[in-house]
């Protein structure tokens, strides 16, 4: 992917952060994914008064893309206003592993800091459908 395309995904994540619905934490997060069809889908965190129902920006972006028929993710950017770059939470790591394993992930903040990460490093020894397949193949 070209530098320009990477910049588009980052810009989309930063813009999506502005839509964040986070009245309880005030921690605004934006995310954007690019798919192999060249489309960009964005997400922001959306908090519920029943806190546990809150959804992270990354999952909103991934769900939007999947629900529009996209299946292959090339890039994912996550944007938050922290000095130490904010990585995807544990739940999002699982979803990234299952649906966007091959995406280049970049974390960004409002100061222009950036860092790329790989999902294998964020979620080593991940659980996924392989275990279910193995189980079903061997059960009597
Ligand atoms: N949050 C995200 O949206 N993505 C992350 O990677 C980390 C956490 C949100 C969830 C919640 O609305 C707020 O940040 C504080 O946890």
Spans of the chain, pLDDT less than 50: none
Q: Quote the pLDDT of residue 81.
A: 98
Name the residue at shortest CA distance from atom 1 of ligand 1.
Answer: 56
Q: What is the value of pTM for the model shown?
A: 0.96
CA-based end-to-end distance of the chain: 47
Q: Quote the pLDDT of residue 84.
A: 98
For residue 29, report the distance from its CA to the centre of ligand 1, in Å.
6
Atom of ligand 1 nearest to the CA of 29: 3
Query: Packing angle between helix 57-67 and helix 90-99, nearest 10 degrees?
Result: 30
List Cβ neighbours of 76 (8 Å cut-off, separation of 6 or more): 9, 31, 32, 33, 34, 58, 61, 62, 96, 100, 103, 104, 105, 106
Atom of ligand 1 nearest to the CA of 92: 6
Give me the domain span that covers residue 60.
Answer: 3-139
Q: Quote the pLDDT of residue 135.
A: 96
List Cβ neighbours of 55 (8 Å cut-off, separation of 6 or more): 45, 46
For residue 37, report the distance from its CA to the centre of ligand 1, in Å.
27
Q: Quote the pLDDT of residue 3.
A: 77
Compute the distance between CA of residue 139 and CA of residue 40 in angstroms, rounded to an integer. 42
Ligand 1: lining residues by beta carbon, under 6 Å: 22, 25, 27, 29, 45, 47, 54, 56-58, 78, 86, 88-89, 92
- Rg, the chain, Cα only: 16
Question: Considering its fold, how many domains does the chain have in total?
Answer: 1
CATH number where 80 lies = 3.40.140.10
């Amino acid at each position: 992917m070209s530098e320009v395309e990477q910049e588009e995904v980052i810009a989309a994540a930063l813009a999506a952060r502005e839509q964040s619905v986070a009245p309880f934490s005030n921690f605004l997060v934006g995310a954007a994914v690019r798919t192999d069809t060249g489309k960009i889908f964005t997400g922001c965190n959306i908090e519920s008064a029943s806190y546990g129902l809150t959804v992270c920006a990354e999952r909103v972006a991934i769900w939007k893309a999947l629900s529009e028929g996209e299946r292959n993710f090339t890039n994912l950017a996550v944007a938050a206003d922290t000095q130490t770059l904010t990585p995807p939470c544990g739940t999002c790591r699982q979803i990234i592993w299952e649906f966007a394993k091959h995406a280049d992930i970049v974390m960004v903040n409002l100061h222009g800091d950036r860092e790329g990460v790989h999902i294998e490093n964020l979620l080593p020894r991940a659980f996924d459908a392989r275990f279910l397949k193995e189980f079903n193949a061997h059960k009597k």
